[in-house]
């Protein structure tokens, strides 16, 4: 059982996804649990302030370190500086500055017992969080989007698919793109001919050896 925590200003962006597969099955099968934590409730003032201007100038606002520190302490029940030393616990900051996420990284994270994802917003997060209280900084690609919620969902979903019993047919995972260093071959379903375009003959031949050969030849290296 892997426990996921997501720290975000917008839990309502994430919650609806958790009601669908693969998350729904992961919960049913006791393979994973998901908890959303609202960063706003860790503001230290009554106005709910969680952001401030960057030192040295620059446009936009940054998420302040105190609310994130307090939330991490609450999530894990101990100071964040201790949490990152615990075996099996990963505390992840989503950031374009991070290490590029891929299937191998998902497989590595799927072995953790608890993963906490910190979603940035605005211009990002005070750098002292990244420098002192996380085990991983992850980027989903070389582009910038408005918040860490979609990146967090990508990470949640890619890991959840790898958990035992979540995808019912084991093959669906082990033969999927990137799992064996290749991209999956093209696949076709009915009808045999669609707008004059026919399914490759070999796939209709019933010759399993030839079909496997064709699949291999059409699965390029990732």
Beta carbons of 187 and 181 less than 8 angstroms apart: no
**Residue 5: which residues within 8 A CB-CB, separation 6 or more?**
35, 36, 37, 75, 114, 115, 116, 117
142 among the known binding-site residues?
A: yes
- Largest Cα–Cα distance in the chain? 71
CB of 129 to ligand SAM, least distance (A): 10
CB of 57 to ligand SAM, least distance (A): 14
CB of 130 to ligand SAM, least distance (A): 10
Residue closer to ligand SAM, measured from CB, 119 or 167: 119
Query: Is residue 121 packed enough to be buried (19+ CB in 10 Å), middle (13-18) or exposed (0-12)?
Result: buried
Torsional sign, CA 71, 116, 135, 80: positive
Residue nearest to ligand SAM (CB): 120
CB of 33 to ligand SAM, least distance (A): 23
144 among the known binding-site residues?
A: yes
Residue closer to ligand SAM, measured from CB, 80 or 151: 151
Residue numbers at the binding site for ligand SAM (CB under 6 A): 94-96, 119-121, 123-125, 139-141, 143-148, 151
CB of 62 to ligand SAM, least distance (A): 9
Long-range CB pairs of 39-48 (<8 Å, 24+ gap) are 39/7, 39/8, 39/9, 39/63, 39/67, 39/68, 39/71, 40/9, 42/66, 42/67, 42/68, 42/70, 42/71, 42/74, 43/67, 44/70
Residue closer to ligand SAM, measured from CB, 71 or 125: 125
Residue closer to ligand SAM, measured from CB, 90 or 121: 121
Residue closer to ligand SAM, measured from CB, 19 or 142: 142
The DSSP code for 144 is: -
140 among the known binding-site residues?
A: yes
Q: How many residues does the chain have?
A: 222
Residue closer to ligand SAM, measured from CB, 93 or 167: 93
CB of 145 to ligand SAM, least distance (A): 4
Q: Binding-site residues, please?
A: 120, 140-145
Q: Binding-site residues for S-adenosyl-L-methionine, please?
A: 120, 140-145
């Amino acid at each position: 059982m892997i426990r996921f925590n997501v720290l975000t200003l917008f839990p309502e962006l994430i919650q609806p996804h958790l009601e669908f597969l693969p998350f729904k099955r992961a919960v049913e099968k006791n393979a994973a649990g998901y908890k959303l934590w609202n960063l706003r409730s860790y503001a230290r003032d009554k106005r709910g302030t969680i952001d401030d201007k960057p030192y040295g100038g620059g446009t936009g606002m940054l998420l302040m370190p105190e609310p994130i520190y307090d939330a991490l302490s609450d999530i894990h029940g101990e100071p964040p500086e201790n949490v990152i030393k615990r075996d099996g616990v990963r505390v992840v900051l989503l950031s374009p500055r991070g290490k590029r996420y891929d299937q191998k990284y998902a497989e590595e994270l799927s072995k953790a017992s608890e993963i906490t994802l910190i979603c940035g917003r605005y211009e990002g997060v005070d750098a002292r969080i990244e420098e002192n209280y996380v085990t991983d900084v992850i980027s989903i690609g070389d582009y910038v989007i408005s918040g860490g919620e979609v990146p967090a969902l990508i990470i949640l979903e890619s890991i959840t698919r790898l958990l035992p019993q979540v995808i019912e047919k084991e093959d669906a995972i082990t033969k999927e793109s990137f799992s064996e260093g290749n991209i999956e071959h093209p696949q076709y379903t009915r009808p045999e001919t669609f707008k004059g375009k026919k399914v490759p003959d070999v796939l209709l031949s019933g010759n399993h050896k030839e079909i496997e050969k064709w699949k291999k030849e059409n699965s390029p290296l990732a």
